Amino acid sequence: MSNKKVIVTGVGGQLGWSIKQLSGQYPTLDFVFTDVAEMDLTKQDSIKHFIQQNPPDYFIHCAAYTAVDKAETEKDLALAINATAVGTIAEECAKVDAKLIAISTDYVFDGNGTKPYLPYDETDPLNYYGYSKWLGEKAALESNPQTIIIRTSWVYCEHGSNFVKTMLRLMKERDELKVVDDQVGSPTYAPDLAKAILDIVIELENGNNHKGIYHFSNDGIISWFDFATAIKELSSLNCHVLPLPSAAYPTPAKRPAYSGLNKDSIQSDFHIQLKHWKLSLQVCLERLAP
Q: Which residues are catalytic?
A: 129
d(CA 102, CA 41): 14
Q: Binding to ligand NAP by residue 154, rule CB under 6 A?
A: yes
Query: Shortest approach of ligand NAP to residue 126 CB, angstroms?
Result: 14
Please report whether residue 14 would count as binding ligand NAP according to CB under 6 A.
Answer: yes
- The answer to the question of residue 21 lying near ligand NAP (CB under 6 A) is no
Q: Which stretch binds ligand NAP (CB under 6 A): 9-17, 194-202, 226-234, 250-258?
A: 9-17
Q: Find the shortest distance in angstroms from Cβ 257 to ligand NAP.
A: 16
Q: Tell me the window of 49-57, 149-157, 261-269, 276-284 that interacts with ligand NAP (CB under 6 A).
A: 149-157
Q: Which residues contact 184 (CB under 8 A, 6 or more apart)?
A: 221, 222, 223, 257, 258, 259, 260
CB 101 within 8 A of CB 151: no
Query: What stretch of H or E contains 135?
Result: helix 128-143
Return the closest-CA partner of residue 17 out of 185, 155, 169, 215. Answer: 155
Q: Is the Cβ of residue 36 or residue 170 nearer to ligand NAP in the bound state? A: 36
42 makes contact with ligand NAP (CB under 6 A): yes
Dist. CA 288–CA 146, nearest whole Å: 37
Of 62-70, 220-228, 248-256, 271-279, the window that binds ligand NAP (rule: CB under 6 A) is 62-70
Pairing between β-strand 222-223 and β-strand 184-185 as defined by DSSP bridges: antiparallel
By rule CB under 6 A, what count of residues binds ligand NAP? 25
Q: Does 16 bind ligand NAP (CB under 6 A)?
A: yes
Q: How many CB atoms lie within 10 A of CB 110?
A: 18
101 binds ligand NAP (CB under 6 A): no
In this chain, which of 15, 19, 71, 168 binds ligand NAP, going by CB under 6 A? 15
Give me the least distance between CB of 235 and ligand NAP, in Å please.
20
Kindly state the DSSP code that residue 109 receives in the 8-state scheme.
S
Q: Within 10 Å of residue 70's Cβ, how many Cβ atoms?
A: 16
Task: Candidates 6, 19, 60, 62: give the one binding ligand NAP (CB under 6 A).
Answer: 62
Which of 5, 12, 146, 282 forms a contact with ligand NAP (CB under 6 A)?
A: 12
Q: Are strands 29-33 and 58-61 parallel, antiparallel or unpaired?
A: unpaired
What residues pair up with 7 in beta bridges, in sequence order? 32, 59
Position 81 contacts ligand NAP (CB under 6 A): yes
